[in-house]
Amino acid sequence: SGAGTNRYVWFSYSTDGGKTWEANSVTTANFSGFPCLAINSTGIPYVGMHMSASPTRGFLWSDAVFGAGSWSEVGIIPQTPIAFVWPHIAVTTNNNVVYAGCPNPGFQGHYNTWNGSSWFANNIELLNSCANSIFLIHFLETRIEIQGSNA
């Protein structure tokens, strides 16, 4: 098959210390990949990824409960001047999900926050550098610690 076809994202987990594993497909849409995982305080897993959707762009998915295998699309990341991919996600103390990424091609990193029902109105630029999104998790941990549930 051609490049990018039949590439899917799966979620695997073990409940017995790794002796056995369960797996379920997050999505079977072609050309999905570069996933990242975050779990909120109630145990709900979130997966950020990019998918081909004319153009390729960032998506956020969640399971109904941990291990249910009932994945649903939470939302498409709002458009930036160029759709951003290469995701990094983190969950704040109030269970908001922060999604960061950068365009392909390009180096202008952005992030946005899902509050459980919608995205914030605007994507926030990460200092004109996609490389900064690599450090997003450290940034978020500091921001969460400083701002608490306002993050």
Mean pLDDT for all residues in the chain? 74
3-state SS class at 4: coil
Query: What is the C-alpha radius of gyration for the chain, rounded to an integer number of angstroms?
Result: 15
**CA angle centred on 130, ends 126 and 132, rounded to 5°:** 60
pLDDT, one tens digit per residue, over 19-72 is 999 888 888 766 787 888 999 999 999 998 887 766 677 888 999 888 888 898
pLDDT value for 150: 38
